[in-house]
Amino acid sequence: MSDILTCQKCETKNRVTNPPAGQVPVCARCGAPLPWLHDGTDASFAEDTRAGVPVIVDFWAPWCGPCRVMGPILEQIAQDMPGKVRIVKVNVDENPRSPAQFGVQGIPTLVMFKDGEAVDQIVGAVQKPLLVERIRHLQNLA
Ligand SMILES: [Zn+2]
């Protein structure tokens, strides 16, 4: 599944599929790394969570109030850290298998992946600075 990602530098809209292993999506016009937001699914979950940068999976649902708080925070983080993190939003109503696989009991739950493996989890809504700190920690892991 492809995403439309807007370049922060030149505002070009880029149609992006999952890039080759270890690469991040860049703007076709100016080469800048793109804020990497993706709607994940059960079918593509393994591929969605494999990236050369930390991946934050947001298990959410449209009816969940705290999820609606987390959504914009995650979008801001994608904008703040282009080429440094991938945000994958998984609607648990439409995709029940992936949250079951990771023992998700309630939403929002954020599961963080490094090199395709789940390494950290945050249950419930959190403030942006805490989330940024946890992502930086993942980036610093060798
Ligand atoms: Zn660009």
Q: What is the pLDDT of residues 103-128, one digit of tens each?
A: 999 999 999 999 999 999 999 999 99
Structural domains in the chain plus CATH codes = 36-140 (3.40.30.10)
Please tell me the distance between residue 16's alpha carbon and the centre of ligand 1 in angstroms: 13
Q: Cα separation of 2 and 35, whole Å?
A: 14
Residues with CB under 5 Å of ion ligand 1 are 7, 9-10, 12, 27, 29-30, 32
Burial (0-12, 13-18, 19+ Cβ within 10 Å), 121? middle
Residues in the chain: 142
| pLDDT score for 19 | 84
| pLDDT score for 2 | 85
Helix residue ranges, H only, the chain? 45-48, 65-80, 97-101, 128-140
**121-141 mean pLDDT:** 93
pLDDT bin (cut points 50, 70, 90) of residue 135 is: very high
Task: Enumerate the active-site residues.
Answer: 64, 67
Q: Cα separation of 89 and 56, whole Å?
A: 8
**66-76 mean pLDDT:** 96
Place of tokens 């860049």: 26
